[in-house]
């Protein structure tokens, strides 16, 4: 049973590195969020170019996607993991490993930023061919990933020592959640490394002229879907470990929570072909198998919906709720001293629609209707832009406050952020989804002729959905600006306690936790099943992709992204 613990004092070097890890992505986010907002104004025809200083549609979209979906999430996964490991394992990080990891991540990010800002890497956050970037983009992205691996490798000796010292205690739930998150990350970034080292980097350096596009895309999506669970699982750690306590109750079942994380380890990787249903060269059987496994990966999220709702209901009852739904009203929605409740509840409410639309996407036949339409943007903003983003914002501010010793300022404003964001997103995303169902494209740089009543391509219904999406985006940008205001006020506040005192409120479990003999306290069997499933589901598709002949895609420094040039 997990009980409340005292804070853990972080060593000075790790404290400094963690402040960098938590602050740098928030600073970059100013650029990332700005370019997202510009996309919506551009798509509604309110502005004619999607950014300042001549930044074009694809460049702005690349900055938006790479900063928000890749840089922010990777830094957050690492700094949150660093905090969880130190707090629950009660050990400091290994200083040189921590310094190496942060150095690689910061260096890699800056290296990738230069070509993006110069317009030499307009390849979007999905960066697969035929779009091509300057080599420094790929090398920078690779260093960012390697830095996150180093962080993970640095946790293993701590974990081993803890297990030797606590042989009869199951791994703390938060630690299990983060270890599973990074195991998924480690496995799924291996195909990405292969794509980078053997396909993309030689091709962008001009060492080879031709590239196997289906193979590169299959390797990318081998990484690309598990990636979303690398984003999601830290949020689940917060929902299972912190939220029930902050809401005034207990975790309904630690056993269910452990099983959830382990099921993600098994099912989150062999599903990437659901992004490639429409691509030729891979037999339908394998796409069908991945569709089936995609439905399987929704099961741990359904379990989470049940377990978290039951924990919240318990919290409501502890706070005096009587009837069937009274517990909802009794939750501390507006308690400014427990901001993680507001950030978590808003994220969960968004994820109901975000998750359900994922199941629509997974259906082989429904996918034919919505693939590459605005529906997909609607879906992923309600997942990565909803629960994931809000947990990142809430926890980053809390970590910054703990690391610097500065109290969070503007607490009332702070809890307005998630609800405002949710309101904006509940306008933005459904508008994108309805637009998608009406045929509105997901990404478009085709002159936006649908906005011009004199054009034969004019579509009034698309104008309406584009404007609604822009209205939602205005509300979201207001929420983000309020958040930045709270952050700046916090930075400006004088420290009130020594910096580096980590503390996570930790929920006890209502039903007994699993004994150490239980299968849900072991990692190896689940890892074994995961590897077998990956081999079974990817062996043939990769062989099929390998058979495709390489295709020459012209590359010159003036024409770094040929497909974009063609569309223009
Ligand atoms: Fe997805 C495309 C299928 C989850 C992100 N997804 C994307 C893309 C992104 C993305 C970024 O099968 C676009 C990639 C690109 O650029 O092309 N997705 C799924 C499925 C799930 C899913 C089945 N996706 C996510 C998550 C993401 C994410 C999570 C980010 C973090 N997705 C797809 C498919 C595509 C796709 C296809 C490709 C489409 C195409 O054609 O291109 C599932 O994991 C979802 C399961 C989730 C649930 C929801 C459970 C609800 C919960 C909330 C409970 C609420 C409570 C509140 C407790 C079943 C846990 C109660 C409280 C009160 C107070 C009342």
The answer, yes or no, to whether residue 201 has pLDDT greater than 90, is yes
**What CA–CA distance (Å, rounded) separates 394 from 404?**
16
pLDDT of residue 50: 72
Cα of 126 vs centre of ligand 1, distance in Å, is 17
List, for residues 228-237, the tens digit of each pLDDT value.
Answer: 999 999 999 9
**What CA–CA distance (Å, rounded) separates 276 from 532?**
22
Range of the domain at 236: 4-566
Cα of 34 vs centre of ligand 1, distance in Å, is 24
Cα distances (Å, whole numbers) of residue 163 to 9, 153, 256: 21, 16, 22
**What CA–CA distance (Å, rounded) separates 540 from 556?**
35
545-558: average pLDDT? 69
Distance of CA 277 to the CA centre of its chain: 23
**What CA–CA distance (Å, rounded) separates 440 from 466?**
9
Of 229, 236, 261, 483, the active-site residue reads 229
The 3-state DSSP class for residue 511 equals strand
The 3-state DSSP class for residue 210 equals strand
- Provide the pLDDT confidence category of residue 562 given band limits of 50, 70 and 90: very low
**Which protein residue has the closest C-alpha to ligand 1 atom 49?**
355
Percent of the chain with pLDDT over 90: 85
Q: For ligand 1, what atom is nearest to the CA of residue 388? A: 31
List, for residues 508-528, the tens digit of each pLDDT value.
Answer: 999 988 888 899 999 999 999
Of 98, 134, 225, 275, the active-site residue reads 225
Q: Which of 333, 358, 363, 443 to mutate to test the pocket of ligand 1 (most atoms within 8 A of CB)?
A: 358
- Best CA proximity match to 310, nearest among 235, 260, 229, 249: 249
Is-catalytic flag, 379?
yes
**Which protein residue has the closest C-alpha to ligand 1 atom 17?**
275
List, for residues 95-131, the tens digit of each pLDDT value.
Answer: 999 999 999 999 999 999 999 999 999 999 999 998 9
Is-catalytic flag, 319?
no
List, for residues 380-395, the tens digit of each pLDDT value.
Answer: 999 999 999 999 999 9
Residue 436, burial from CB neighbour count under 10 angstroms (0-12, 13-18, 19+): buried
The answer, yes or no, to whether residue 63 has pLDDT greater than 80, is yes
Residue 519 belongs to a domain with what CATH number?
1.20.210.10
Q: What is the DSSP letter of 441?
A: B
81 within 8 A of 88, measured Cβ to Cβ: no
- Provide the pLDDT confidence category of residue 563 given band limits of 50, 70 and 90: very low
pLDDT of residue 311: 98
pLDDT of residue 179: 98
Cα of 354 vs centre of ligand 1, distance in Å, is 5
Of 411, 443, 459, 467, the active-site residue reads 443
- Provide the pLDDT confidence category of residue 445 given band limits of 50, 70 and 90: low
Assess whether the C-beta atom of 210 lies below 6 angstroms from ligand 1: no
- Best CA proximity match to 180, nearest among 533, 532, 531, 523: 523
**Average pLDDT over the chain, rounded to an integer:** 93
pTM over 0.85: yes
Q: For ligand 1, what atom is nearest to the CA of residue 306? A: 58
**Which protein residue has the closest C-alpha to ligand 1 atom 59?**
355
Is-catalytic flag, 380?
yes
The answer, yes or no, to whether residue 46 has pLDDT greater than 60, is yes
46 within 8 A of 107, measured Cβ to Cβ: no
Assess whether the C-beta atom of 330 lies below 6 angstroms from ligand 1: no
Rounded to the nearest 5°, which phi and psi values hold at 552? -80, 130
- DSSP letters spanning 219-261: HHHHHHHHHHHHHHHHHHHIIIIIHHHHTTS-EEEHHHHHHHH
Q: Which helix (H) or strand (E) holds 9?
A: strand 8-9
**Which protein residue has the closest C-alpha to ligand 1 atom 12?**
362
List, for residues 450-464, the tens digit of each pLDDT value.
Answer: 888 888 888 889 899
List, for residues 487-506, the tens digit of each pLDDT value.
Answer: 999 999 999 999 999 999 99
Distance of CA 363 to the CA centre of its chain: 22
Cα of 159 vs centre of ligand 1, distance in Å, is 31
**What is the torsion angle, in degrees rounded to the nearest 10, for the CA atoms of residue 102, residue 25, residue 339 and residue 254?**
-50
Assess whether the C-beta atom of 318 lies below 6 angstroms from ligand 1: no
Assess whether the C-beta atom of 350 lies below 6 angstroms from ligand 1: no
Cα of 296 vs centre of ligand 1, distance in Å, is 13
Q: For ligand 1, what atom is nearest to the CA of residue 126? A: 16
Domain total of the chain: 1
The answer, yes or no, to whether residue 540 has pLDDT greater than 90, is yes
Least confident segment among 211-220, 279-288, 451-460, 500-509: 451-460
**What CA–CA distance (Å, rounded) separates 521 from 513?**
10
Q: For ligand 1, what atom is nearest to the CA of residue 359? A: 23
Percent of the chain with pLDDT over 70: 96
Is-catalytic flag, 381?
yes
**β-strand partners of 251:** 509
Helix orientation angle between 12-43 and 57-65, rounded to the nearest 10 degrees: 150
**Which protein residue has the closest C-alpha to ligand 1 atom 34?**
361
Higher pLDDT, 267 or 452: 267
Of 98, 274, 275, 379, the active-site residue reads 379
List, for residues 465-488, the tens digit of each pLDDT value.
Answer: 999 999 999 999 999 999 999 999
Cα of 299 vs centre of ligand 1, distance in Å, is 12
């Amino acid at each position: 049973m997990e009980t409340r613990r005292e804070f853990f004092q972080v060593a000075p070097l790790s404290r400094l590195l963690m402040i960098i890890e938590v602050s740098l992505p928030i600073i970059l986010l100013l650029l990332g969020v700005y370019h997202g907002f510009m996309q919506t104004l551009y798509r509604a025809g309110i502005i004619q170019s999607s950014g300042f200083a001549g930044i074009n549609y694809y460049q702005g979209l690349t900055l938006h996607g790479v900063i928000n979906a890749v840089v922010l999430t990777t830094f957050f996964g690492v700094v949150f993991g660093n905090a969880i490991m130190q707090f629950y394992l009660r050990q400091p990080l290994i200083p040189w490993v921590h310094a190496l990891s942060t150095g690689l991540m910061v260096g890699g990010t800056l290296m990738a930023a230069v070509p993006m800002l110069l317009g030499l890497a307009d390849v979007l956050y999905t960066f697969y061919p035929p779009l091509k970037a300057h080599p420094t983009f790929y090398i920078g992205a690779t260093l960012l990933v390697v830095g996150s691996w180093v962080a993970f490798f640095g946790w293993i000796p701590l974990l081993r020592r803890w297990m030797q010292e606590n042989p009869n205690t199951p791994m703390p739930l938060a630690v299990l959640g983060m270890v599973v998150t990074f195991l998924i990350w480690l496995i799924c970034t291996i195909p990405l490394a292969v794509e980078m080292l053997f396909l993309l980097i030689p091709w962008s350096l001009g060492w080879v002229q031709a590239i196997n596009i289906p193979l590169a895309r299959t390797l990318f999506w081998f990484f690309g879907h598990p990636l979303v669970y690398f984003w999601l699982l830290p949020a689940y750690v917060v929902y299972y470990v912190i939220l029930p306590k902050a809401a005034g109750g207990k975790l309904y079942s630690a056993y269910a929570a452990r099983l959830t994380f382990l099921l993600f380890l098994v099912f989150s990787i062999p599903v990437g072909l659901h992004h490639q249903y429409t691509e030729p060269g891979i037999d339908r059987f394998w796409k069908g198998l991945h569709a089936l496994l995609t439905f399987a990966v929704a099961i741990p999220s359904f379990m989470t919906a049940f377990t978290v709702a039951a924990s919240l209901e318990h919290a409501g009852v502890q706070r005096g709720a009587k009837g069937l739904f009274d517990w909802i009203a009794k939750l501390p929605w507006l308690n400014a001293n427990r901001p993680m409740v507001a950030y978590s509840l808003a994220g969960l409410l968004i994820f109901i629609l975000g998750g359900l639309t994922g199941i629509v996407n997974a259906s082989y036949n429904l996918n034919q209707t919505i693939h590459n339409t605005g529906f997909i943007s609607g879906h992923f903003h309600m997942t990565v832009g909803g629960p994931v983003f809000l947990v990142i914002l809430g926890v980053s501010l809390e970590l910054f406050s703990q690391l610097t010793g500065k109290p969070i300022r503007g607490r009332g404003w702070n809890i307005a952020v998630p609800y405002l964001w949710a309101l904006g997103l509940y306008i933005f995303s459904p508008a994108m989804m309805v637009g998608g169902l009406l045929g509105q494209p997901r990404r478009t740089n085709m002159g936006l002729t649908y906005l011009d009543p004199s054009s034969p391509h004019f579509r009034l219904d698309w104008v309406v959905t584009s404007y609604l999406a822009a209205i939602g985006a205005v509300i979201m940008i207001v929420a983000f600006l309020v958040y930045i205001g709270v952050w700046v006020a916090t930075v400006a506040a004088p420290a009130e306690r020594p910096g580096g005192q980590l503390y996570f409120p930790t929920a006890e479990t209502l039903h007994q936790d699993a004994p150490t003999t239980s299968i849900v306290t072991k990692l190896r069997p689940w890892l074994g099943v995961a590897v077998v499933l990956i081999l079974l589901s990817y062996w043939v598709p990769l062989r099929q992709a390998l058979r495709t002949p390489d295709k020459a895609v012209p590359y010159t420094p003036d024409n770094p992204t040929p497909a974009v040039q063609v569309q223009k």
